[in-house]
Amino acid sequence: KAKLLLHDEL
Amino acid sequence: MNIFRGIADFSHLAAIIILLHKIWKSRSCAGISGKSQILFAIVFTTRYLDLLTSFISLYNTSMKVIYISCSYATVYLIYMKFRATYDGNHDSFRVEFLVVPVGGLAVLINHDFALLEILWTFSIYLESVAILPQLFMISKTGEAETITTHYLFCLGLYRALYLFNWIWRFYFEGFFDMIAIVAGLVQTVLYCDFFYLYVTKVLKGKKLSLPA
């Protein structure tokens, strides 16, 4: 599952 | 962004500034665990590599740059500039007992088996235990300077407020990240003992000294 994870939290 | 995350980020920034300012002004890092500060520098470095790959907002980018630069500046002050005041004898927590299991866990349990994602996961797990050398050092010295307790309070409060941020985001956005939530719970639980002492002693004007 090549999810491009964008972590928007610090 | 929500009020909980806003206050949390502010509290985190305050903690980092309080510590840097305390060491710089007093020209001493007595009572401060250099090991915890190294772990925090590693936490920020491995978590914010996405500075190179994605842009979220000016706020996000600027805060990341501030966190990374302040944490390296703090490590520099402890191990270089004011190394004579570093209390290595009491800063004796075996951090390899933290880094190795956390590293293994990050490889086993993550959202995506990609390098940046594993490093992010490692950073989340490491942050939850990064304060242990500092708490251990306080238990060994039996006391902490009041300014250090304020630093720890802000640091503990930041992740506790993130828990509320995640409740908010689950309810309003349907967003939740189990890895961050579980690690955040562990991290906050580790502060409970300190929070109790902070509220019952420091807020009453007493010095924080153990055993209570």
Structure tokens at A7: 């972590």
What is the complex's ipTM, to 2 decimals?
Answer: 0.89
* pLDDT score of A1: 45
Place of tokens 């407020």: B161
The answer to whether the beta carbons of residues B71 and B130 sit under 8 Å apart is no
pLDDT bin (cut points 50, 70, 90) of residue A5 is: confident
Which residue stretches of chain B are H helix?
3-26, 34-47, 58-76, 96-108, 115-129, 132-141, 146-173, 178-200
B91 touches chain A (CB under 8 A): no
Rounded CA-CA distance B10/B4 in Å is: 10
* pLDDT score of A3: 57
pLDDT in tens, chain B (212 residues): 999 999 999 999 999 999 999 999 999 999 999 999 999 999 999 999 999 999 999 999 999 999 999 999 999 999 999 999 999 999 999 999 999 999 999 999 999 999 999 999 999 999 999 999 999 999 999 999 999 999 999 999 999 999 999 999 999 999 999 999 999 999 999 999 999 999 999 999 999 998 75
Chain A partners of B67 at a C-beta cutoff of 8 Å? 10
Task: Look up residue B65 and give its amino acid.
Answer: V
Considering CB atoms only, which of B54, B64, B111 is closest to A10? B64
Inter-chain contact B117–A6, Cβ cutoff 8 Å?
A: no
Chain A partners of B60 at a C-beta cutoff of 8 Å? 8, 10
CA distance A3 to chain B (A): 7
* pLDDT score of A4: 62
Inter-chain contact A6–B9, Cβ cutoff 8 Å?
A: no
Burial track B39-69 (b if 16+ CB lie within 10 A, e otherwise): bbbbbbebbbebeeeeeeeeebeebbeebbe
- More confident: A5 or B133: B133
* pLDDT score of B51: 97
For helices B178-200 and B132-141, angle between their N-to-C axes, nearest 10 degrees: 20
Considering CB atoms only, which of A5, A8, A10 is closest to B117? A5
* pLDDT score of B145: 96
- Residue B142, sorted as left (phi over 0), alpha (psi -120 to 50) or beta, turns out to be left
Place of tokens 């590693």: B42
Structure tokens at B158: 């930041």
